[in-house]
Amino acid sequence: MDKRTVTCEFLGTLLLVFFAVGSAVLAGEYIGTLGIALAFGFTLLALAYALGPVSGCHVNPAVTLGMLVAGRINVRTAVEYWVAQLLGAIAGAALLFLVAKQVPGLRTSGAFGTNGYGSRSAVGINTGGAFVVEVVLTFLLVFVVLSVTHKVAVFGFDGLPIGLALAAIHLVGIPLTGTSVNPARSLGPALFAGGAALSQLWLFIVAPLIGGALAALVHQVTHPPTAARHGGLRVDDRADRTVGAADDPEAERPQAT
In a domain, 251, yes or no: no
In a domain, 61, yes or no: yes
Containing 234, the helix (H) or strand (E) segment is strand 233-234
Q: Kindly report the pTM of this predicted structure.
A: 0.86
Q: Structurally, how many domains does the chain consist of?
A: 1
Helix (H, G, I), strand (E, B) or coil at 96: helix
> Which ranges of 101-252 does DSSP label H, i.e. alpha helix?
127-148, 159-173, 183-193, 196-199, 203-222
- The closest of 196, 192, 184, 180 to 107, measured between CA atoms, is 192
CATH number at residue 143: 1.20.1080.10
Question: In terms of residue numbers, what domain contains 53?
Answer: 3-103+114-239
In a domain, 257, yes or no: no
Q: What is the pLDDT along the chain (257 residues), one digit of tens a residue?
A: 789 999 999 999 999 999 999 999 999 999 999 999 999 999 999 999 999 999 999 999 999 999 999 999 999 999 999 999 999 999 999 999 999 999 998 888 878 999 999 999 999 999 999 999 999 999 999 999 999 987 767 777 788 999 999 999 999 999 999 999 999 999 999 999 999 999 999 999 999 999 999 999 999 999 987 643 333 333 343 343 344 433 443 444 444 44
Containing 113, the helix (H) or strand (E) segment is none
What is d(CA 253, CA 256) in angstroms, rounded to the nearest whole number? 9
- The closest of 187, 140, 208, 130 to 168, measured between CA atoms, is 140
